[in-house]
């Protein structure tokens, strides 16, 4: 039978080590081994983006990466968006702007939005739509998803805060202070 390999990852600031088969997908490591079921599987083919997480701050589709490829990397999942139980600006905005219906695409949408606002704090609507073009919403709530990301950008600008979260995705931690 198949051999296993050891993989160590930092997920939302916490370190995990697991022995997994080399063919195990990263999304299955998160969901089955670590119990982080907030990351969803929609299509298994990289189309839908439901499994989007951040790898060292960059959005990736975790159904299209092997768990062992993430060895030594820092991951952020939807469970890491809150900070001490407080919602991040983007989580708050999705709630306020009715940016979700069934909620299945929502973790991926919020992580993609988080990464966008890290690199581009004041994105245009076109930039937002381009950023989420790899995330499908079957409820077709795109309009309000765009509104939510715009709203989060405004909140961050007003409060002078970053995208938040326990994960400490790196670039966001030192931002802020500017009005």
Partner 1 sequence: MSTPQELGGLGCSVKRKEDARFIRGQGRYVDDVKLPNMVYLELVRSPFAHARIGSIDTSAALEIPGVLAVITGEDLAAANLSWMPTLSHDQQMVLATGKVLFQGQEVAAVVGETRFAAADGAAAVRIDYEGASRSRGPPHGFGRQCAGPPRGSRGKDESHLPLGIR
Q: How far is the CB of 179 from partner 1 (least distance, A)?
A: 27
CA distance 162 to 83: 12
Nearer to partner 1, 164 or 177 (CB): 164
Q: Which is nearest to 92 in space by CA: 35, 30, 46, 155? A: 155
CA distance 151 to 59: 20
Nearer to partner 1, 91 or 135 (CB): 91
Q: How far is the CB of 73 from partner 1 (least distance, A)?
A: 19
Q: How far is the CB of 174 from partner 1 (least distance, A)?
A: 26
Nearer to partner 1, 98 or 154 (CB): 98
Residues 6+ apart with CB under 8 A from 123: 116, 117, 131, 149, 150, 153
Q: How far is the CB of 159 from partner 1 (least distance, A)?
A: 19
Q: How far is the CB of 95 from partner 1 (least distance, A)?
A: 5
Nearer to partner 1, 3 or 174 (CB): 3
Q: Which residues of this protein are in contact with partner 1, per CB under 8 A? A: 1-2, 21, 23-24, 28, 31, 36-41, 77-79, 81-82, 87, 91, 94-95, 98, 100, 103-104, 106-107, 110
Question: Per-residue DSSP letters for 60-76?
Answer: EEGGGSBGGGGTT-EEE
At residue 17, the 3 state secondary structure works out as strand
């Amino acid at each position: 039978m198949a051999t296993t390999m050891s993989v160590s990852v930092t997920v939302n600031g916490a370190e995990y080590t697991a022995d997994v088969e080399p063919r195990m997908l990263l999304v299955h490591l998160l969901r089955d081994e670590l119990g982080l079921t907030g990351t969803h599987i929609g299509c298994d083919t990289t189309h839908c983006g439901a499994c989007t997480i951040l790898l060292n701050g960059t959005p990736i589709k975790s159904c299209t990466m092997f768990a062992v490829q993430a060895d030594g990397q820092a991951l952020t999942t939807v469970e890491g968006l809150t900070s001490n139980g407080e919602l991040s600006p983007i989580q708050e905005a999705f709630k306020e702007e009715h940016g979700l219906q069934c909620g299945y695409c929502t973790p991926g949408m919020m992580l993609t939005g988080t990464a966008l606002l890290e690199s581009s704090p004041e994105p245009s609507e076109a930039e937002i739509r381009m950023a989420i073009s790899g995330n499908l919403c079957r409820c077709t709530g795109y309009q309000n998803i765009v509104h939510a990301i715009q709203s989060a950008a405004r909140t961050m600008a007003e409060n002078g805060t970053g995208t938040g979260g326990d994960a400490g995705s790196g670039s966001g931690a030192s931002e802020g202070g500017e009005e």
